[in-house]
Amino acid sequence: MNQQPVNQQVSSRTVRYNTEVAAASAAADAARATPGVVRLQPGLWGLVQQLSREMWERATGTRYPDIAGVEATLDADGTAVDLDISMVLHSGHNATAVSAAVQESARIAVTALTGLAVTTVTTHITDIDLAPLLA
């Protein structure tokens, strides 16, 4: 079996991780900029990662991209990525239209900023912000 030296394996994993973070960051920025998206919404594991990043920023002063609510998974070749985006919808917008807009803008942004092909963009609306209707 052809085994890479440990340091090369670590380096390869680091490159993959950094690429996934770059793709997730581009997708998150694009999603947040889409009209009708109130905010991105991480699940439990995403929240743990977000809190860890906030601690890291506080300790080191180094800014880390806010990618909570977005998961980017590179394929085996490292040339294409699957995106999974969870978000909260503004009640004044149509859920289907906003989801389609997020899928399109995330796809364009990730390819433009990272050069990666985007295989799928899955979106989840986890909640609707009813506050504007109540006002």
Partner 1 sequence: MALDRTAPAHELPCGRHVEDVLDELDHGTVSGHTRSCAHCTTARHGIEALNEATRILLDDPVEPEPGLVDRIMSAVRVEIRHSEGLTLPTGADHADISIRAVASLLRFAADTVPGARARHCRVEPLPDPETDPGAGAGAGAGAGAGAGAGAGAVPAVRIDMTLTVRYGTPLEPLLEQVRAQLVAAMAGHIGLEARTVNLDVVDLWDE
DSSP helix/strand/coil, 69? coil
Contact pick of 33, 75, 112, 124 for partner 1 (by CB under 8 A): 124
Tell me which stretch binds partner 1 (CB under 8 A): 16-24, 27-35, 108-116, 125-133: 125-133
CA-CA-CA-CA torsion sign (18, 42, 30, 99)? positive
- The phi and psi torsions of 60 (rounded to 5 degrees) equal -105, -20
Burial class (CB in 10 A: 0-12, 13-18, 19+), 91: middle
Query: Is the CB of 76 or the CB of 134 nearer to partner 1?
Result: 134
Instruction: Name the minimum Å distance from CB 66 to partner 1.
Output: 13
75 lies in the binding site for partner 1 (CB under 8 A): no
Which residues ranging from 11 to 40 are in contact with partner 1 (CB under 8 A)?
Answer: none
In angstroms, the CA 43 to CA 106 distance is 19
Q: Which residues bind partner 1 (CB under 8 A)?
A: 5-7, 10, 41-44, 46-47, 55-56, 58-60, 86, 89, 91, 93-97, 99-100, 103, 120-128, 130, 133
